[in-house]
Each structure stands twice: as C-alpha cells, then as structure tokens.
Amino acid sequence: MKLLTKRARTSKIVDIFVLDSASAIGGGLTGLVYNSAGLTAYYKREGDASMTQISLVTATGGTWASGGFIVTDATNAPGSYELHLPNAAIATGADTVFIYLHGAVNMAPVVMEIQLNAGDVVWDEPLTGATHNVSTSSGRRLRQLESGQVVRSDTAQDGSNNTITLDAGADSADDFYEHMQITIIGGTGVGQSQIIVRYTGSSKIAEVAHAWHTNPTGGSVFAILPGAVHTETSHSTLDHGMAQAGASGTITLRSGASAIDDFYKGGVIVLDTGTGGHQCRLITGYTGSSRIATITPNWKTNPAADSEYDISCGSVNVRAMADGVITAAALDTSAVNEIRDGILNDAIRFSGADIGAIKAVTDALPDAGALTSIAQEATLDVVGVIVAAIKAVTDALPDAGALTTLQATSTLIRQIVQNSWSHVGTLVTIQNDTDSGPLLTFTPKNKNGDAIDSSSYSLTTPAQHTRKI
C-alpha cells in the first residue's frame, strides 16, 4: 500500500488491512490487539541504516496516541485496524517512510510506503508551465487565472506606516507597480489592501495611498493585483504622501515632492489623516529645495510627521476684504466720485459690512478746519463745510450690524446737499424741505478750533457744489 501525506505532519492516523493467511478467500484477520503475541511494527525513513521499532499501545478510535493500535470495525470491516504513526516517522528530513507490521498468528505481513511532501500534495504544489500545461486541466486554469490577476506575490522585506518593501526579486523599474492594488495575505497586517501611489525600483519600496492600520513587516506576505480606479491618483491630484513636519503656516512635504519652486502654488492641500487631519488650506508659496509649502490661513492644528496629505489643483478663491484693506489712500478721485454718484442716485445699496467699511474711512477724515485755513481766508470754502456736514452725519451712524442698506443714509445726505442753508452768528442751519424744522445745525470752526462768526464768510447754496465733494 502506498500513501501520500504532508511532511512534518503530526498526529497522523492511517487505516490498514490485515489479511488472514489461513483464509482461502482472502478474508481479514480479526481479534488483534496492540499486545497480541508476536505482533510487531517498524518504520524506516529514507536514508536510515536500519528499521526503528514502533512501541504499540492501546488507543481510542480516532484519537491519536503515538504507536496506538486498535480495531476499526470487526463486524462490518473484518481485518481493519488503526495504526497511529509516531511523529518522528514522518518528520522533516526524508521524502519517504517504509512501514512494516507482522508476527501475529495467521497474520500476513502489512507493508506500506508513505511519500512525504513539503506541503499539501495538491494545493501546495507550485503552479508552473512545465508541470501544469495540459489543455483544460484544473492546474492550467489556475495558473492562467493567477497570471491574469496576480502581478506579483511574495514575502515583504520590511514596512512602515505608509510603505512596504517588496521582495528582492520585485521589478527594478520605477513606478512599475504604480496604481496597482496590494493586499497583505499573510503575516503581520494580514487582510489590509492599499493602492500603490509610488514605487522605487532600486529600493523595492512601494508607497501606498493611506497609512496602514497595522504596519507590515519582514515576513508579511503580499499580493499585487492589476490597477484599480481610485481618487488618490486622479488627474487633479498633484501630490500625495506623508508630511515630514509642519508649523502654523507651513507644511514640509515628503522628500519625493517636486523640487521646483512654486510648483504647488495655488493648489489646495488637504490633511487626510494623522495630526491635524481633515483641514483644508490654500498653498500660497512653495520652496522646492526644502519641500516647504506656505499655506493660508494658518492651521488650527499644526501637521506633523504622521500627517497624510493630498494636493489637488486649486480653484479661484475670492476672499472677503479684511479690516484695514479699504483706506483713504486706496481710494482715488474716480472711486470717490463713483461712490458719491451712486449714493445720490440711489443706485448703490450696501450691506452692514459695507457700511462699516465706509464709516471707518469717514471716521478717519480730518475736521473741516484742517482742510482749509479759514483764519487766513475771507471766505469759507463750501467744500470744507460740506465735508464737515457729511462727517457729522456719518459719525452718528449706528454700528454696521444695525443697518441692512444705506438707503436711509443716502436720503439724508441728499437732503443735506440739496436743501436750504442759512447762518446766523456762529451757527449754520440746514432747513428741512418740508419746513418741519431744521434738518441739521453745526458750528464751523477754524484750524485752531475757534467758532467762526457768519460775518466773516458768505454762504451759497450747497447744491451748486455737489460735484466738488
């Protein structure tokens, strides 16, 4: 009898048939037990100089015990027995083992050869074109399936939080496995799948799209499958990797990022995972030599060496004007004229934020006395009076949040510049056009802060000078 089994397998039980030498019909010998008179058993491994005796012991059917010998079923299978092989008989170091039992009364010798294989006889046999090339055979079909679906499968040399070092025989061409899927199928990190985003042929290091949950190590078994569709390497992706460091307004990209200055300027960087994860910023500058990208606004939580980032093509970014952007110096004559004409024609409506910006400018205007030297001139320039009037109104404006439009203010300004003015003593009065009383009263002053009496200047209708505002 010849059997096949896996080398170094333990607790192996084999079924044997003992022929009754006295039977004319080849019947089985019954009644044997482990200590039957004369019954002996031996084994000899390939390469051994002599036989090794097996010490037979009693046993329970189906439960291994080294040297166990027990009847299987004397009624339904006369002559059938179990022999429990010692583990040493099928250990590594030999390809075959010879088993021999004999000696009991009327017992024909039992001869058995067991072939020892490195793995499972069928499923652990290597698939090669030389041995599995029969048309339509299962072996050939499996080999064809593997060649079409598995690009490479072997044991990793090392791994880190977002890399894996393939075996020494992996391809030496850079980016050969880029965009392919790698799965850990054995060892540390088993069950994880990632997309390879970069591959360095000289070092065999494959960089994956996201950090591993459990880092692979030397001994982790991997399988690389053909490329898959994924967002990490879409056409809009400029770079992806793990940061080297970060600060409040910067991030140091991976060492393999572009060495060209401002290469990523205008792009959008997103921290996917790690320290500072789920933040998005605009890149405003990039230094290729240091791999440092400048961002705006500053990070809420600064990135670090465990921060995974993704840079994509930027879009047009329109920012609201911050405090101090609108200044008196920034407004040229034409801009002032446009704002004035819009107010007078009711053509411009402003939000509370716009009113706040205009109010900030007018609050900063100097007093009318500082615009002209009334003490040295006989007549007060009407422009100075009008500026003072407008300033008096805007100084009294409520906070920006209290207004939704400038309609009420524009109406008041229009009344100021279009209604009747009069002056008595040091007081100037703007009459309401409904004759319901004064719209506004104020006292002009010179540059020293002294009130000016009406006898020292003449007053014309302001509406004639609105284009001089």
- Kindly state whether residues 388 and 274 are assigned to the same domain: no
pLDDT in tens, 18-34: 999 999 999 999 999 99
Number of H helices, E strands in the chain: 6, 25
The Cβ of residue 78 has, within 10 Å, a number of other Cβ atoms equal to: 18
Examine the domain organization and report whether 402 and 449 are in the same domain: yes
Q: Identify the three-state secondary structure at position 142.
A: helix
Residues 299 and 349 in one domain: no
- Side-chain-side CA neighbours of 66 within 13 Å: the count stands at 9
Q: How many domains does the chain have?
A: 4
Last-in-domain residue among 102, 117, 132: 117
Instruction: Tell me if 133 is assigned to some domain.
Output: no
Single pTM value for the model: 0.35
Residues 85 and 15 in one domain: yes
Domain membership of residue 40 (yes or no) is yes
pLDDT (0 to 100) of residue 423: 62
Token digits for 323?
């405090």
| Domain contains 141 | no
- Report the residue count for the chain: 469
**The pLDDT value given to residue 465:** 40
pLDDT in tens, 416-463: 555 565 666 666 666 666 656 665 666 666 667 777 666 665 555 444
**Is residue 140 one of the residues assigned to a domain?**
no
Domain C-terminal end among 172, 192, 227: 227
Determine, yes or no, domain membership for 325.
Answer: no
Same domain, 221 and 252: no
Task: Using only the alpha carbons of the chain, give its radius of gyration.
Answer: 48
Burial letters 87-99, b for 16+ CB under 10 A, else e = eebbeeebeebbb
- DSSP secondary structure string, 51-88? -EE---B--BTTB--TTBEEEEETTTEEEEEEEE--GG
What is the dihedral sign for C-alpha 247, 251, 256, 258? Answer: negative
User: Could you tell me if 306 and 343 lie in one domain?
Assistant: no
SS3 call for 41: strand
Residues 343 and 420 in one domain: yes
Q: Please check whether residues 265 and 304 belong to one and the same domain.
A: yes
Last residue of a domain, one of 77, 99, 117: 117
261 and 306 part of one domain: yes
State the residue range of the domain holding 297: 237-312
Q: Which of 459, 442, 460 is nearest to 451 (CA)?
A: 442
- The whole-angstrom separation of Cα 355 and Cα 344 is 16
Q: Which residue has the tokens 């422009």?
A: 383
Give pLDDT, residue 371.
47
24 inside domain = yes
Mean pLDDT of successive 10-residue segments in the chain (469 residues)? Answer: 86 96 95 96 96 96 96 96 96 94 97 84 66 71 68 91 93 89 91 89 91 92 73 62 92 90 89 86 92 93 90 56 47 53 51 64 60 43 59 62 52 58 65 62 68 62 40
Q: How far apart are CA 74 and CA 60, in angstroms?
A: 15
User: Would you say 82 and 63 are in contact if contact means Cβ atoms under 8 Å apart?
Assistant: no
For 222-234, how does the pLDDT look when each residue is reduced to its tens digit (9 = 90+)? 988 886 544 444 5
**CA–CA distance, 41 with 66 (Å, rounded to integer):** 12
Strand order in the sheet with 237-242: 237-242, 308-312, 268-273, 280-287, 292-296, 250-252, 245-247
- Indicate whether 459 belongs to any domain: yes
Q: 20 phi and psi, to 5 degrees?
A: -85, 110
Domain assignment of residue 131, yes or no: no
65 and 113 inside one domain: yes
**Do residues 31 and 92 share a domain?**
yes
C-alpha 11 chain-centroid distance: 49
* 241 and 219 housed in the same domain: no
Unique residue bearing structure tokens 């393939």: 166
Report the mean per-residue pLDDT for the chain.
77
Cβ atoms 217, 184 nearer than 8 A:
no
**Which pLDDT tens digit goes with each residue over 107-164?**
999 999 999 887 665 666 666 666 776 766 777 777 766 666 778 888 999 999 889 9
Q: How far apart are CA 118 and CA 268, in angstroms?
A: 55
> Per-residue b/e over 213-230, b at no fewer than 16 CB within 10 Å?
eebbbeebbbbbbeeeee
